[in-house]
Structure 1
Amino acid sequence: MKTRRMVSLGLLILVLIISGCTGNASTEKTKTLTLWYWNRSLDDELIKSVEKEFPGIRIDAQKIGGDFKSKLKTTLAAGSGGPDIVAFNDWVAELFTSSDRFYDLYELGAKEIEPDFLDWKWKLGVTPEGAMIALPIDTGPTALYYRADLFEEAGLPTEPEDVHEQLGTWDQYFEAGQKLQEHFDQKVKMLDNITNIYTQINAQSDRIYFAEDGTFIGESAESSMKTAWDTAVKASQMKLSANVNTSSSEWNAAMNNGRVASFVGAVWMKEILMQAAPDTTGKWRVARAPGGDGNNGGSFLAIMKTSKYPQEAFDVMKYIQNPENQVQSFKKINLFPSAKDALDAPVMKEPEEFFGNQATGEVFSESARNVKPAYFGGKFANVNGIVNRELSSVALQGKNPDKAWSDALARVKKELLR
């Protein structure tokens, strides 16, 4: 009996040991990574594929609605919580002051893949101190969208290469606009709004509002701010603008009924335009923008310091953003690539019915390759909003441009003291 009890006790202990080991193995086997992103910032199917690519990883993908940036900043202010992986939009520089809350991706192996990405896009995720806190997702290269049929009727060039050659500067573009509007007896306007002109000229620059040390340079000759302002005002004074705000119902109508013949916009405007102007299928084309190539928009991925699995999180991010997956994301949800090799993918040469069977991907790829690296600073959005409001007052209320400029500068300086 004693022997039997000893054997039974031994078996029980062995079972408990095995159960404990199995439980620990199960716990160690699966590592959960929480991801915060917004709708269409990443391809949902690609996110689902992560668990197949990394059997020991589970992705808790949380699609955040509402004001994504506010939620993230609230989380940072709280000092705790948050996901492992988080998406940023083009406001990444606003988070540089909180860079200690994110892993430096250089410490996790980012140097190895840096050559794969567009240099200017990569640098947007690097702090002035040299920490790399954000891995590129997509880009927003800009180009000139134009109605080829309206250009042809007005005697303007219609082939994208010819448009770029003959309307390559803002002055040439404006002169062409005068010719077009005269032909249509002012019933058709050359462009949508002058704040867009201001935005796109700054997007073509490498020196906008701030130097990398945070100094405001808007009043200096090295900044594009005054040039962009003067050029936008010139467009207003030449009455080239339809004064319709981008993505408004009025803008949609103007695109669909032919009231506006062209505008400069980012690649992601393609989808907006197609939805706004279904009656114009086949009539639009895309050419390199007057004034040069630029970028407007594009997002990033980062790893919060609260993550227990930073290396695994980086490996997942690296997988999601490899060139092959960037091509798939472009095909599925129009995220324009930040990886160099993806810009040469066959899909970039595919004809598009809405654009008269032009392969617009080739134009945007060339634009993306030629963007100048720029530093935006933590208060870019604040300054930009102030200037755009004053510029709108010039266009819509007839405010004196010089007074509007001085008021804008005064408000900017006050904002920067806060």
Structure 2
Amino acid sequence: MPNARATGTPRTPAAQAAVHAGTAVRTGAAVRTRAVVRAGAAVLAGVLLAACGSGASGGASDGTVTLTVDLFGSFGYKEAGLYAEYEKLHPGIKIKQTDTEDEQDYWKSLQTRLAGGGGLADVQAIEVGRIASVTQAQPDKFEDLTRYGADKLKGEFAEAKWSAATTEDGRVLGLGTDVGPEAMCYRTDLFKQAGLPTDRAELARRWATWDGYLELGKQYQAKAPAKSAWLDSVGSLFTIMIGQEEERYYDASGKLIYESNPAVKTAWDTATEAADEGLSAKLDQWSPQWNQAFAAGSFATIPCPAWMLGYIKGQAGEAGKGKWDIAKLPGGAGNWGGSYLSVPRAAKHKKEAYELIQWLTAPEQQARLFEKQGNFPSSTGAIAKVADAKDPYFSGAPIGQIFGDAAKAAPVQVLGVHDKNVADQITNALSEVERKGTSPDKAWSNAKKGVENVTG
């Protein structure tokens, strides 16, 4: 899921289809790389029976408990009918969702409420770039889910996905939702108008490298339809490129290395080159203008982690069906995003909240979310279920294969306490380059000052 994107080899034939590379993150020196598989449907059935019989605490006079769920971006639970199904399975439960489109705004609000101890939902989402902050800096603000039996679910997730939400002393502070294996989404109708090929295999060959991607972008711009650019923003280009790297802003010891990391420099230089060549629509991601641009055809390509599929459908609408397709990402596989569901210590209905997030992150529900919304599963059992999935909205693209292959090859990413904050400062600086004409050197200097402020 939005902002945000491998370890080991699965041990069973079914799980070998369960690509786990994209689920992999590691924090600090605590790196674990063993993949694991689901224990079986019988376990889930038992949990569901237990959940159905659980008592409601602190509910309305009629015994109904209203669970509040606070999210960012598009998790797709409501759209996929999962809330309605859960309420049907649990007659004493009602679910009320709130969401914030921009994850940065969401995180700032969450920090304010955590500091004050009030206004928190029963379930709070945590973006993968923030999970190290939760486990290392805020573990006492969230419930240890092992109190409710979460330790029994460990085998349902790739070890790296599980361990990222686990503290050094063994507390589990969140259950994994999706991950963000990366591809490239593109508008076939705009490509045709510019005289470019539309076949996903041919495009994958043409833009096998990022240099090839920029070169194809220059060809597009030469014959592009009016008011259409090659890509949405250079910030998204930087983010997708840095998602292909194991070490980005921190090393495995927890040291901040973004200034000296050549991978960061390469991604920065490529993004600023795209800005200089006029290949970007100069749109801030998650802004109203960016949302409108999906339907308006303001850009022909967008770096596309799996969770972006649902977002594109929501913004482009029914009129976009069949106009989009998906091809392999330039430069190799990567991961962008992925999230967790957590229960704050100050939540009103902790037990019921845990039962809900356990159900939402179970393989059956994760598989349905991918098929309906494009959110790629973090559950190994779910990944095996969606290997053959195709999406008619995206011209029948074999999304199970494309994102599955990407997840297999994606690196295990090292995350630090301020990982998301560092990323935000750099992409904000890139926005200055493309929208204000700030020189790359000046913008980089501004990014460094921003990083210093947020990291202390």
TM range (shorter): 0.7 to 0.9
- The equivalent residue for 1:162 is 202
Q: Point out where structure 1 has 5 or more consecutive residues left out of the alignment.
A: 1-27
Question: Which segment drifts farther, 293-302 or 228-237?
Answer: 293-302
- The equivalent residue for 1:30 is 55
Per the TM alignment, residue 213 of structure 1 is displaced from its structure 2 partner at its CA by: 4.6
Amino acid aligned to 1:357: G
In structure 1, C-alpha distance between the alignment counterparts of 2:210 and 2:413, rounded to whole Å:
21
Matches of residues 18-417 of structure 1 in structure 2 within 5 Å?
30-32=55-57, 35-38=67-70, 41=75, 43=77, 46-47=82-83, 59=93, 61-64=95-98, 69-70=107-108, 72-78=110-116, 85-90=123-128, 91-96=130-135, 97-105=137-145, 109-127=149-167, 131-152=171-192, 154=194, 156-184=196-224, 188-221=228-261, 224-248=263-287, 250-251=289-290, 254-277=293-316, 279-305=319-345, 314=354, 316-331=356-371, 334-345=374-385, 349-352=389-392, 354-417=393-456
Matched position secondary structure for 1:386: helix
Amino acid aligned to 1:319: W
Q: Compared with structure 1, are the counterparts of its residues 198 and 318 closer, same or farther at alpha carbon in structure 2 (3 Å cutoff)?
A: same
Q: Compared with structure 1, are the counterparts of its residues 61 and 177 closer, same or farther at alpha carbon in structure 2 (3 Å cutoff)?
A: same
Per the TM alignment, residue 144 of structure 1 is displaced from its structure 2 partner at its CA by: 0.4
Q: Compared with structure 1, are the counterparts of its residues 64 and 251 closer, same or farther at alpha carbon in structure 2 (3 Å cutoff)?
A: closer
What are the superposed Cα offsets for residues 152-198 of structure 1, whole Å, 9 maximum, x if unpaired?
56554432233223312111111111222234499753212111111
What are the superposed Cα offsets for residues 381-415 of structure 1, whole Å, 9 maximum, x if unpaired?
43233222322222122222122213322332243
Matched position secondary structure for 1:383: helix
In structure 2, C-alpha distance between the alignment counterparts of 1:50 and 1:346, rounded to whole Å:
22
Q: Compared with structure 1, are the counterparts of its residues 98 and 162 closer, same or farther at alpha carbon in structure 2 (3 Å cutoff)?
A: same
What is the aligned-residue identity percentage?
32
In structure 1, C-alpha distance between the alignment counterparts of 2:367 and 2:54, rounded to whole Å:
31
In structure 2, C-alpha distance between the alignment counterparts of 1:128 and 1:201, rounded to whole Å:
30
Q: Compared with structure 1, are the counterparts of its residues 106 and 225 closer, same or farther at alpha carbon in structure 2 (3 Å cutoff)?
A: farther
Greater Rg by CA? 1
Per the TM alignment, residue 241 of structure 1 is displaced from its structure 2 partner at its CA by: 1.7
Residues 70 and 124, structure 2, Cα contact 8 Å, conserved in 1 = no
In structure 2, C-alpha distance between the alignment counterparts of 1:185 and 1:324, rounded to whole Å:
43
TM-score of the pair, normalised by structure 1: 0.77
In structure 2, C-alpha distance between the alignment counterparts of 1:274 and 1:52, rounded to whole Å:
27
Number of equivalences: 386
Amino acid aligned to 2:55: T
Question: What's the Cα RMSD here?
Answer: 3.6
Amino acid aligned to 1:88: I
Amino acid aligned to 2:359: Y
In structure 1, C-alpha distance between the alignment counterparts of 2:93 and 2:426, rounded to whole Å:
42
Residues 193 and 225, structure 2, Cα contact 8 Å, conserved in 1 = no
Residues 180 and 338, structure 2, Cα contact 8 Å, conserved in 1 = yes
Greater relative contact order (Cα < 8 A, sep 6+): 2
Q: Compared with structure 1, are the counterparts of its residues 307 and 273 closer, same or farther at alpha carbon in structure 2 (3 Å cutoff)?
A: closer
Matched position secondary structure for 2:336: coil
Residues 120 and 371, structure 1, Cα contact 8 Å, conserved in 2 = no
TM-score of the pair, normalised by structure 2: 0.71
Amino acid aligned to 1:176: L
In structure 2, C-alpha distance between the alignment counterparts of 1:186 and 1:54, rounded to whole Å:
52
Q: Point out where structure 2 has 5 or more consecutive residues left out of the alignment.
A: 1-52, 58-64
In structure 1, C-alpha distance between the alignment counterparts of 2:97 and 2:288, rounded to whole Å:
27
In structure 2, C-alpha distance between the alignment counterparts of 1:139 and 1:82, rounded to whole Å:
25
Residues 137 and 299, structure 1, Cα contact 8 Å, conserved in 2 = yes
What are the superposed Cα offsets for residues 82-128 of structure 1, whole Å, 9 maximum, x if unpaired?
56654333433332311133344457654543343244433432346
